[in-house]
Amino acid sequence: MTVSIADWFKETANWVFILLAIPTLLGAWRTVTSNNIVRSVLYLVVSLGGAAAMFLSLGAAFVGWTVVLVYIGAVIILFLIGIMITRAPLGMKAELSHASNVRMPAALLSLSMFVLVAWGLIDAFSNTAIEPFEPTPTSDIANLIFSRFVVPFEVVSIVLLAALIGGIALARRDDGGGA
């Protein structure tokens, strides 16, 4: 089944996708190119917001709002505080910026990763029609988490506990005894 470009634009969902994809990509691009690290973090908010909206447009409301709540709400805060506790001044630093001989391999690596994944996705799904789908209600997700996925659910608390203890061990002020 081949789809012409005209057909593609007839679909409203595709317009929504384009509308969300452009800010997501721009945000991601500016996150890595911005000279000011605080701006990078704020551009990341744009990118994450786009990703959250994309989940919403696919009917995955729970995942979308989780991205908003956890990533935009908490992880970004952690980023900003992480920046604030460093002593580094803002802005570009000549001795820290990558030499051009490192940029080339990095770009090649990113490109090859992109080609690999894009080729894989096109190879596997270019002929698959997307069926009309129903949005996933949060109750279904709850049913899954607390029955089938109860083991991973409890493991998440262990991961969080490890992060908590690790954070305490690294960030607590020293009052002697610590090496």
Partner 1 sequence: MLNQYYGDYITVAVFVAIGAILVGGAVAANRAIAPRAPGGFKDVAYESGIEPIGGGWNQSHIRYYIFALLFLIFDVEAVFIFPWALQLEFFSSIGSGLTVLVEMFVFVGILLLGLVYAIRKGVLTWE
Partner 2 sequence: MQGGAWLPIAFEVVLLVGALAVLLVAVVAGRDRRFWGPAAGLAFAGAALAGVLQWREVSTSGAGLFFTAQGVSFAKSPMVVMDGLSAFGAIVLGLVGFVGFLAAWDLVAKVGRRGPELVSLLLLSLAGLHMMMATPNLVVIFLGLETASISFYVVAGFLRRQKGSAESSFKYFLLGSLASALFLYGVALTFAATGSLTLYGGNSIRDFFSSTIVTQPGILLAGMALMLVGIAFKVSAAPFHQWAPDVYQGAPTGAVGFMAATVKIAGFAALARIFGAGLVSQVDTWTPIVAVLAAVSMVVGTVLALVQSDVKRMLAYSGVAHAGYILTAMTAGVAGVPAMWFYVSTYAFMVVGGFAVLSTVSGSDSSKVPLDDLKGLVKRSPEMGWLMTFVVLGMSGMPFFAGFVAKVFSFVTATAVPAPWPANDHGYLWLVVLGVVMSVVGLAFYFRIIGTMFSTPDDQAELQEAGLPVRFAVIVSAVITVAFGIVPWPLIEAVRDAFPI
Instruction: Point out which residues bind partner 2 (CB under 8 A).
Output: 116-117, 119-125, 143-144, 147-152, 155-156, 158-159, 161-163, 165-166, 168-170, 172, 174, 176-179
Site for partner 1 contains 176 (CB under 8 A): no
Q: Whole-number minimum distance, CB 7 to partner 1, in Å? A: 20
Residues 6+ apart with CB under 8 A from 55: 61, 63, 64, 67
Residue count (the chain): 179
The span from the CA of 59 to the CA of 64, in Å, is: 9
Hey, CA dihedral for 67, 68, 71, 72, is it positive or negative?
positive
Q: Taking CB within 5 to 8 Å according to partner kind, which of partner 1, partner 2, none is near residue 81? A: partner 1
Using DSSP, state whether 128 is helix, strand or coil: coil
Site for partner 1 contains 40 (CB under 8 A): no
In this structure, are residues 136 and 60 in contact, taking their beta carbons and an 8 Å threshold? yes
Of the candidates 75, 78, 54, the residue with the CA atom closest to the CA atom of residue 64: 54
Q: Taking CB within 5 to 8 Å according to partner kind, which of partner 2, partner 1, none is near residue 98? A: none
The span from the CA of 161 to the CA of 155, in Å, is: 10
Nearer residue to partner 2 within complex by CB, 5 or 177? 177
Looking at 73, 92, 116, 148, which residue binds partner 1 (CB under 8 A)? 73
Q: Taking CB within 5 to 8 Å according to partner kind, which of partner 2, partner 1, none is near residue 66? A: partner 1
- Break the chain down into helix, strand, coil percent, rounded to 5: 75, 0, 25
Instruction: Catalog residues that contact partner 1 under the rule CB under 8 A.
Output: 56-57, 59, 61-62, 66, 69-70, 73-75, 77-78, 81-82, 84-87, 89-90, 132-135, 138-139, 141-143, 145-147, 150, 153-154, 156-158, 160-161, 163-165, 167-168, 171-173
